[in-house]
C-alpha cells in the first residue's frame, strides 16, 4: 500500500467516512456517510491523481433539457462537476485532486461540495429521475 493511499484513508477516517469496501491493490476505497447523503462514494488513487466519483442517477429515457441543466448546476459547484459515464447512461459527480500535495482540507472540501450540491439540487435531480 502506498504512502499516499494510507494518507487518504487516514483523512477519510478522520472525516468519519465509513469504508464499506477497499481494494488495496488498486488503491481504491468505497465510502459512505449517510448523514451527508453520500453512499458508495468511490475514492481512487490513480498514479498522481485522486479521483472522487459518486453515482447520482440513471439518465431518463426522455432527458429533455437535463444536460443543459447539469451544466448550469456545475457552474454553482465549488469543486467537481456532474458528468456522464462513458455510455451516457448514468449521471455521476466527479472531482480530481493532485495526490502529491493533498491535504485533508482539500479532500474534505471536495466531498463537502458533493454533499452540498446534492442537497441544493436534489429536487431538480429528483424531478428528472421521475421522467
Specify burial of residue 5 (Cβ count, 10 A radius: 0-12, 13-18, 19+). Answer: buried
pLDDT of residue 1: 55
pLDDT of residue 67: 95
Residue linked to cell 459518486: 54
Residues shown for the chain = 131
Statement: residue 93 has pLDDT above 60 = yes
Number of domains in the chain: 1
pLDDT of residue 42: 98
Cα–Cα dist 76/54, whole Å = 18
Other residues' Cβ atoms within 10 Å of the Cβ of residue 14: 11
Residue linked to cell 449517510: 34
For the domain that residue 111 is a member of, what is the CATH number?
3.30.1460.10
Mean pLDDT of 28-36: 92
Q: What is the pTM of this model?
A: 0.90
For 1-25, the pLDDT digits (tens) are: 589 999 999 999 999 999 999 999 9
Q: How confident is the model at residue 129 (pLDDT cuts 50, 70, 90)?
A: confident
Cα–Cα dist 1/96, whole Å = 20
Q: Which domain holds residue 25?
A: 3-129
Amino acid at each position: 500500500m502506498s504512502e499516499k493511499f494510507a494518507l487518504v484513508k487516514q483523512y477519510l477516517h478522520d472525516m468519519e467516512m465509513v469504508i464499506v469496501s477497499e481494494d488495496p491493490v488498486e488503491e481504491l476505497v468505497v465510502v459512505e456517510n449517510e448523514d451527508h447523503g453520500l453512499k458508495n462514494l468511490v475514492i481512487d488513487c490513480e498514479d498522481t491523481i485522486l479521483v472522487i466519483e459518486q453515482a447520482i442517477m440513471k439518465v431518463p429515457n426522455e432527458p429533455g433539457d437535463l444536460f443543459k441543466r447539469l451544466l448550469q448546476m456545475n457552474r454553482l459547484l465549488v469543486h467537481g462537476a456532474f458528468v456522464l459515464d462513458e455510455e451516457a447512461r448514468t449521471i455521476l459527480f466527479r472531482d480530481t485532486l493532485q495526490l502529491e500535495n493533498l491535504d485533508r482540507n482539500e479532500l474534505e472540501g471536495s466531498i463537502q461540495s458533493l454533499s452540498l450540491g446534492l442537497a441544493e439540487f436534489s429536487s431538480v435531480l429528483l424531478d428528472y429521475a421521475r421522467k
